[in-house]
Amino acid sequence: MSTRNQDHNQAAPAAPQDLVRRFEQEFGSAPDGVWQAPGRVNLIGEHTDYNEGFVLPFAIDRTARVAVAVRQDATVRLLSTFGDQGMVTASLESLRPGAAKGWTKYPLGVVWALRERGIDVPGLDLLLDSDVPLGAGLSSSHAIECAVISALNELTGAGLGAEDMVLATQRAENDFVGAPTGIMDQSASLRGSKGRAVFLDCRDQTARLVPFETEPAGLVLLVIDTKVSHSHADGGYASRRASCELGAEIMGVKALRDLDVTDLEEASGLLDEITFRRVRHVVTENDRVLQTVELLAGRGPGAIGPLLDASHASMRDDFEISCPELDLAVDTARANGAIGARMTGGGFGGAAIALTPVDSAPTVRDAVAKAFADAGFAAPEIFTVSPAAGAMRIA
Ligand code: GLA
Does 257 contact ligand 1 (Cβ within 6 A)? no
Does 345 contact ligand 1 (Cβ within 6 A)? yes
Ligand 1 atom 5, closest CA: 346
Does 309 contact ligand 1 (Cβ within 6 A)? no
Do 92 and 75 meet the contact criterion of CB atoms below 8 Å apart?
yes
Q: What is the Cα–Cα distance from 202 to 53, expressed in whole angstroms?
A: 5
Does 185 contact ligand 1 (Cβ within 6 A)? yes
Instruction: Please report, as a single letter, which amino acid is at residue 258.
Output: D
Q: What is the pLDDT of residue 84?
A: 76
**215-385 topology per CATH:** Alpha-Beta Plaits (3.30.70)
What pLDDT, in 10s, does the model give residues 143-198? Answer: 999 999 999 999 999 999 999 999 999 999 999 999 999 999 999 999 999 999 99
Q: Which ligand 1 atom is at minimum distance from the Cα of 139?
A: 7
CATH code 3.30.230.10 region(s) in the chain:
4-212+388-393
Q: In what order do the strands lie in the sheet with 351-357?
A: 340-344, 351-357, 219-225, 381-385
Q: What is the Cα–Cα distance from 87 to 110, expressed in whole angstroms?
A: 18
What pLDDT, in 10s, does the model give residues 319-378? Answer: 999 999 999 999 999 999 999 999 999 999 999 999 999 999 999 999 999 999 999 999
CATH code 3.30.70.890 region(s) in the chain:
215-385
How would residue 137 be classed by pLDDT, with cut points 50, 70 and 90? confident
Does 47 contact ligand 1 (Cβ within 6 A)? yes
7: annotated active-site residue: no
Q: Is the dihedral of CA 146, 148, 154, 159 positive or negative?
A: negative
What pLDDT, in 10s, does the model give residues 265-281? Answer: 999 999 999 999 999 99
DSSP 253-319: -SSGGG--GGGHHHHHHHS-HHHHHHHHHHHHHHHHHHHHHHHHHHT-GGG-HHHHHHHHHHHHHTS
Instruction: Please report, as a single letter, which amino acid is at residue 368.
Output: V
Model-wide pTM > 0.85: yes
Q: What is the Cα–Cα distance from 100 to 105, expressed in whole angstroms?
A: 5
The values of phi and psi at residue 90, to 5°, are: -140, 150
**4-212+388-393 topology per CATH:** Ribosomal Protein S5; domain 2 (3.30.230)
Candidates 41, 43, 47, 200: which one to mutate for ligand 1, based on the most atoms within 8 Å of Cβ?
47
Do 136 and 351 meet the contact criterion of CB atoms below 8 Å apart?
yes
Q: What is the Cα–Cα distance from 89 to 53, expressed in whole angstroms?
A: 39
Residue 351 forms beta bridges with which residues? 225, 344
